[in-house]
A and B are shown apart, each in its own frame.
Chain A
């Protein structure tokens, strides 16, 4: 089964929940996908041994200046303004290109071929028996979605994905954009992590909208639950959203986090909490 962990905003403890859940259910055979490719942080806690690195690129146009007659068709059709045609020259702006292939397909002179441009890397490895896959977007690149697609594709090719007993844990990017959707898509369940403050509530409401749109069932984890107010609780109650777990604020947890140490490694009592959360999720799912 596939469980994604998301939040309307970063910094709520999404990675903490994902990592600790993954570490608490070793008997399930866990696959961990860090799809937060702009800020992949799970490896700080899981310290995986990377065994394979895959470069991810998108195809960008290359103009054959011999064949080109500067008709301007490519610039006209490009939806991303990645091409500009001057009287005697074609300018390509590879950073704007989304790799749709329209220009090479439609150039009347057949003067456009495509070449790969790297936008990031996907790394595959293992950590404590967990199959680990993460994506890293190159700095200055604007398109996380293709990278997330490759992470999931790689995961799908591995046995654990299809084994119903095993669990694929996905650390999704924060927010409500298309990259979040790409990461959550296909999940059996989504855990939304929030904190009991007005910010937390505001961002939770946005995240709930995303999941309703995707029609994925979900529940909420309230992090730093001892520090804040009751508005998140009331909201969940009014909207019949199950609260899966509360993690109180604890300086020790904050310190462990700052050192890159998973909570369950040092505070074993939390293993049971995460296992119970997993059972609860299982109960919530249609059988």
Chain B
């Protein structure tokens, strides 16, 4: 089984549009949406949920007001500004309170409260779905608002998807990656065979692409670049080619800006299935190139 991760650094470059089309072309694939903060792949692949799993992660600190003696020790030790002292109108201390959003789950207050008034409580921070689509099984998730540990949920999504791919003898695992270069992206990179960086010829697109390429290089993963909306600024498209050449990274494909893409989004389908023209052809060519990379590898 080969794992292909599609990322972009910057949002809105067409990562999910491309992922959905590769999903439609791959056959014998398992699909994973690792953008657990703002998953969108389901809007194009229409998964039917077969199983739901709760994602319990982390433990937030909770104070038992009955036991707290207002000593303020936790307040001074919490480094994440999660513990606050509520004052009465006359300025005297009313009670000590924990802001669950700010709590980083470090447990320092729990270990140091002199009267044991703080407990760490488990939290349901998200849901994981195992679904069926017309293109194959799909694993996706929804992280609760302001929940941490998106990295852990990404790792779990990938692990489930890998298990399914192995059990069903699928040849591909196609992963829609999270945006940015932080924890969830790092989690999505592990064990991947190919990273496809989708970029656009804008200065922000280039800048973010370089950061994401650095990250992939940091983890030593084979990386290829795909330039979407390449005709928006040809000079920048050339710049991307030069940057890639310098780093020894292949630009594996291009797409021009196209209204067809927006139309396919509105209809909720992969653009390869909507477009009858050049857009679809380019994506088919891209997929053939990806297949060829691993065929070569298989023979050697």
Contact = CB atoms under 8 A, between A and B. Distances in A.
Interface in B190-215: 200-205, 207-208, 211, 214-215
Contacts of B208: 39, 41
Given A39-B10, A199-B40, A210-B145, A257 B211 contact: no
B181 A39 contact: yes
Contacts of B112: 105-106
A102 B108 contact: yes
B106 A259 contact: no
Interface residues of A, number: 56
A39 B9 contact: yes
A213 interface: yes
Nearest to B142: A206
B62 to A, nearest CB: 15
Contact of A259 (B148, B183, B203, B268): B203
A229 B215 contact: no
A100 B202 contact: no
Interface string B97-128: 00001001111100110000000000000000
Contact of A213 (B13, B145, B150, B257): B145
Interface of A: 8-12, 15, 38-39, 41, 44, 77, 79-80, 98-102, 105-106, 137, 139-144, 149, 173-181, 197-199, 202-203, 206, 209-210, 213, 227-229, 251, 254-255, 257-260
Contacts of B107: 77, 79, 100, 102
A174 B151 contact: no
A212 B265 CA distance: 28
Contacts of A227: 259, 262
| Residue among B11, B13, B201, B262 facing the most chain A CB atoms (10 A cut-off) | B11
Contact of B179 (A9, A101, A255): A9
Given A176-B37, A198-B43, A206 B145 contact: yes
